[in-house]
A and B are shown apart, each in its own frame.
Chain A
Amino acid sequence: MLLTIDPAAPEPLFEQLAAQLRAAIAAGTLSAGDRLAPARDVAASLDINLHTVLRAYQELRDEGLVELRRGRGATVAARADDAGLRDAGLRAAIDTLVAESRRLGLDPRTTTALVKEALR
């Protein structure tokens, strides 16, 4: 799959990587059992630190979307397929949230902060 990072962006690099992998799982491009590219290779390809990639993978493991095993590397977790990421109702609600916050002219940071607060 395609992975990009923008070193000039304010978002940390590991978060940029994790966001793309999450989106790929949500879109079904990555599904349960698929192996993620070895962290070492991704780090070499993007010319970033190995630990940055590992941190992105660990982030996804903590969310239960990825399994990390010694020797086997990172694979998409079995439960990722029905973790709700692809739920139509959730997608529709998100679309509504985005449309509303755009209509109100809210800064994306404000919207995400509100969502984070609400999720606490």
Chain B
Amino acid sequence: MTTTTRNVPHRGITALLTLVVPLLVLAAALVLVLSWRDELPAEVATHWSNDGVDQVGSAAGMLVTFSTIVVLFSLAMWALGTFAGQAAMTRRFVAGIAVWLAIFLGGILVVTFDAQRGLTDARDATGIGGGVVVTLAVAFAAGIAAASVVPRDPHRPAHSALPATTTTLPLDVDTRATWVRTTRQGHAWLIIAAIAVAAVGLGIATDWWIGLILGVGLTPLLMLLSATVVIDARGLMARTAFPWPRITVPLDEIEDVDVVRVDPMGEFGGWGIRTALDGSIGMVLRKGEAIEVRATGGRRIVVTVDDAATGAALLATLAGRER
């Protein structure tokens, strides 16, 4: 852990975006809500169903629960970014999601209590759908903004040659080469249709905004529709059907290249573009062969792709030229 920690750059910014900003957002929401305490009913509405309020409870209980979630989650994201944040992608992810959650839950508190100001019976409170959707939109925008202000990885060229055992291709030094591999999901339209049906169905069965949230929430699944890996004189680039997030590793920062077998669930806790607890980052879309890259700063990158051997050999060949 010590080596890893030493190599994590920009820890101050990580602390700012995963702890300071989310906790300030939470504090602001709490101050605002508490300033309304004389206007609120004795028991507040804490849950809505189709026909209106279906649960009431103590305001304090709700505030404590939401605050605890935000604090614990922020701490977890800070720890991940500080101890496993070798790659900029991880630091962007923790900053974005910490800010997103604080604004989302803080916003829900504000919207929930605002709808009950001046009421004596919380059951008279109107629906909060519109407020929830606005909160979600603001939370997404702020999360993306937080992720985008995270500094990129500093340029850290490798000083040693690649291990002599690394497999390379017999290419002339003047030969330019590229290796592109795109994997498509055969049942792409099924996934899209399932998402649409689920969102519209839930929207009709319950409330339009619940359907909207489900639809938006499931959209990231679409990125699993295709995956592209490109290896060329710029290094390694891996992305899904979306142009962003993408994984890039410049050639001169590569220390070693290998072909490995990876289990996305076991190592990364799922599929997609992900960070593992040890700070490894990966585009892992299935179990099986993958290109594994070790880069300066203690970074490890894993990318699942068919014919990984050819890709890895070309990457090693091009990286070797840089030394």
Contacts and interface: CB of A to CB of B under 8 A. Distances in A.
Given A2-B310, A2-B314, A45 B180 contact: yes
A6 interface: yes
Question: What interface size band does chain A fall in?
Answer: 10 to 19
B233 interface: yes
Interface residues of B, number: 18
B177 A3 contact: yes
A47 B233 contact: yes
Contacts of B120: none
A8 B182 CA distance: 30
A-side binding surface: helix, strand, loop or mixed?
Answer: mixed
Contacts, number: 49
Contacts of A61: none
A5 interface: yes
Given A4-B171, A6-B172, A45 B182 contact: no
A5 B230 contact: no
A68 to B, nearest CB: 18
A42 B180 contact: yes
Interface in A25-59: 35, 37, 41-42, 44-48
B174 interface: yes
Given A3-B177, A4-B171, A6-B172, 5 more contacts: A1-B181, A2-B169, A2-B310, A41-B230, A46-B177
6 contacts: A2-B314, A3-B177, A3-B179, A4-B175, A35-B182, A44-B232
